[in-house]
C-alpha cells in the first residue's frame, strides 16, 4: 500500500528538483557502495515522484508516492515523513494527502453514532457554545444549559479556551450541567450532548478524560492541533471513553493560512482529522465571521463524510444562513452557533427556537424574506443579522 501527497510550489521554484529532494530526503535518503548489499531493501523505502503539473498561474503541483511501510499507521509519523524537516526548506504547500482506507483510525461514533445517541435521524443538528467564554461559574453554565436545552438544543460545547480554571473547574461544570441533562432526559426523553473541553498535561489527560466520562460526560471537546494527534488517537482508542470526540481547529491558521507554506485546511481539518479518530470536526464556514474559501470548505466536508465524520461549520453561524448551509451540506451537518444563539435579542432559548423555525420553513419551502416572516424568534434574528455575515 502507498500514500500519495500533492505538493504545490509557487512560480520560480524548480518543482521537479524539489519534489525529488522530498521523495529521497523524507524517506530512505541516498546511499553509497557500503550499503550496496542492502539496495533492494533501501529502494523499497524510497519515495517516488509520480506526476508533475504546471498550472496556468505558474504554480506547479508534484505528486509523490510514499511507502506505507515507512510510517506507523498514525498521523504523527505520517506528518514527520511527508513534511517534517522539509517544511523548513522553503516555499511548498501540501494541498492533498491520499491515504489507504485502513490507515489511521475510524471515528468511534461519527455521524451515525451521534445520531443514534441523540435519536435524531432526518434533520441537521443544532449546537451552541457557552458564552461568555470565561468568567462564568459552574452554576452559570448550568443555567444557560437549562435555557437552551429546554428549547430543543441538540448539543452544547465548552468554548475552546475554557480550561480547568478556578472560576469554574471542569468537574464542577460537568456536575452542574449533568443535573440539567438528567432533568431534560426525565422530562422530555431527549438526550442533549455536552462536549466538555478536556485539557491538561499529557501524562494526565487521558485519565482525566476517563474520569469525566465516568462522572457523566457524554461528549468531549479536544483542541487537537495544540494537544496533538497522538492525544486524539489515544482518546479515540480508549474503550472507557465511549463518547463522541469533537475536534476544534484552534491553531489551524498557523499551519494552513499561508498560500505558499504549510498544509491546506482540507488536509489538516479534513483528511488528517478523518483518519485521526475524530467523530465531528469544527471549522469556519465561508459565510461566517472568518475569511474562508468555499471550495476548501467543501473539500473538508467531503473528506470528513468519506469516513463518517460529522462536519461542523462554525464561526458566525446564525439562523439567517440556514438556507445557504443546507444548500451546501444537506441534512448531515451540525450547525454550530455561539453568538448566533446566545446573543439573540430575546435570549438564548429564542436563539435555539429561531434555528428550528428556520429548518422548518426550509422544509416546507417557505420564504425567508424579512417581509414575509411572522413575528417570531426567526424574524427577530433576521432583524439583527439578516441572511449574511455577522
Query: In terms of residue numbers, what domain contains 72?
Result: 2-98
259 and 354 together in one domain: yes
Q: Which residue positions in the chain have pLDDT lower than 50?
A: none
| Residue 171: Cβ-neighbour burial (10 angstroms; 0-12, 13-18, 19+) | middle
Confidence (pLDDT) at 4:
97
93 and 227 together in one domain: no
70 and 124 together in one domain: no
42 and 140 together in one domain: no
118 and 180 together in one domain: yes
Residue finishing a domain among 44, 67, 98: 98
316 and 179 together in one domain: yes
259 and 378 together in one domain: yes
Catalytic residue (choose from 51, 85, 185, 204): 85
Confidence (pLDDT) at 291:
82
Tell me if 105 is assigned to some domain. no
Give the whole-angstrom CA distance, residue 55 versus residue 33. 40
196 and 334 together in one domain: yes
Residue finishing a domain among 98, 133, 166: 98
161 and 277 together in one domain: yes
Tell me if 390 is assigned to some domain. no
CATH number of the domain where residue 10 is located: 3.30.70.150
What does the block give as the cell for 198? Answer: 478536556
CATH number of the domain where residue 312 is located: 3.20.20.110
Confidence (pLDDT) at 70:
93
Residue finishing a domain among 98, 128, 149: 98
Give the whole-angstrom CA distance, residue 185 versus residue 189. 5
121 and 230 together in one domain: yes
Count: domains in the chain: 2
Beta strand 125-129 pairing with 334-337: parallel
Is residue 85 among the annotated active site residues?
Answer: yes
Confidence (pLDDT) at 45:
85
Give the whole-angstrom CA distance, residue 239 versus residue 314. 29
Give the whole-angstrom CA distance, residue 347 versus residue 8. 47
Q: Does pTM surpass 0.85?
A: yes
Confidence (pLDDT) at 40:
77
Amino acid at each position: 500500500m502507498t500514500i500519495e501527497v500533492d505538493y504545490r510550489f509557487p512560480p520560480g521554484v524548480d518543482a521537479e528538483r524539489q519534489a525529488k529532494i522530498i521523495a529521497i530526503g523524507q524517506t530512505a535518503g541516498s546511499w553509497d557502495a557500503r550499503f550496496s548489499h542492502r539496495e533492494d531493501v533501501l529502494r523499497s523505502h524510497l519515495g517516488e515522484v509520480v506526476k508533475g503539473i504546471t498550472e496556468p498561474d505558474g504554480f506547479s503541483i508534484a505528486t509523490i508516492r510514499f511507502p506505507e511501510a515507512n510510517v506507523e499507521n498514525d498521523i504523527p509519523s505520517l506528518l514527520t515523513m511527508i513534511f517534517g524537516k522539509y517544511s523548513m526548506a522553503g516555499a511548498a504547500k501540501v494541498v492533498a494527502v491520499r491515504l489507504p482506507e485502513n490507515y489511521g483510525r475510524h471515528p468511534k461514533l461519527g455521524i451515525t453514532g451521534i445520531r443514534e445517541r441523540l435519536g435524531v435521524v432526518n434533520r441537521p443538528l443544532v449546537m451552541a457554545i457557552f458564552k461568555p467564554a470565561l468568567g462564568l461559574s459552574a452554576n452559570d453554565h448550568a443555567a444557560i444549559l437549562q435555557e437552551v436545552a429546554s428549547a430543543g438544543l441538540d448539543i452544547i460545547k465548552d468554548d475552546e479556551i475554557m480550561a480547568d480554571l478556578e472560576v469554574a473547574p471542569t468537574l464542577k461544570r460537568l456536575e452542574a450541567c449533568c443535573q440539567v441533562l438528567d432533568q431534560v432526559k426525565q422530562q422530555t426523553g431527549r438526550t442533549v450532548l455536552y462536549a466538555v473541553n478536556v485539557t491538561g498535561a499529557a501524562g494526565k489527560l487521558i485519565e482525566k478524560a476517563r474520569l469525566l466520562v465516568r462522572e457523566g460526560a457524554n461528549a468531549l471537546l479536544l483542541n487537537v492541533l495544540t494537544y496533538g494527534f497522538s492525544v486524539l488517537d489515544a482518546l479515540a482508542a480508549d474503550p472507557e471513553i465511549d463518547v463522541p470526540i469533537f475536534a476544534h481547529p484552534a491553531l489551524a491558521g498557523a499551519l494552513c493560512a499561508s498560500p505558499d507554506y504549510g498544509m491546506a485546511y482540507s488536509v489538516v481539518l479534513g483528511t488528517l482529522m478523518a483518519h485521526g479518530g475524530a467523530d465531528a470536526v469544527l471549522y469556519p464556514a465561508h459565510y461566517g465571521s472568518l475569511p474562508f474559501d468555499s471550495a476548501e470548505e467543501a473539500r473538508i466536508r467531503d473528506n470528513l463524510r468519506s469516513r463518517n465524520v460529522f462536519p461542523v461549520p462554525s464561526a458566525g453561524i446564525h439562523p439567517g444562513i440556514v438556507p445557504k448551509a443546507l444548500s451546501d451540506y444537506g441534512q448531515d451537518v451540525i450547525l454550530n452557533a455561539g453568538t448566533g444563539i446566545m446573543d439573540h435579542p430575546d435570549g438564548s432559548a429564542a436563539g435555539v427556537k429561531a434555528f428550528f423555525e428556520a429548518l422548518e420553513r426550509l422544509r416546507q419551502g417557505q420564504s425567508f424574506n424579512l417581509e414575509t416572516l411572522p413575528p417570531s424568534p426567526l424574524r427577530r434574528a433576521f432583524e439583527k443579522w439578516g441572511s449574511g455575515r455577522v
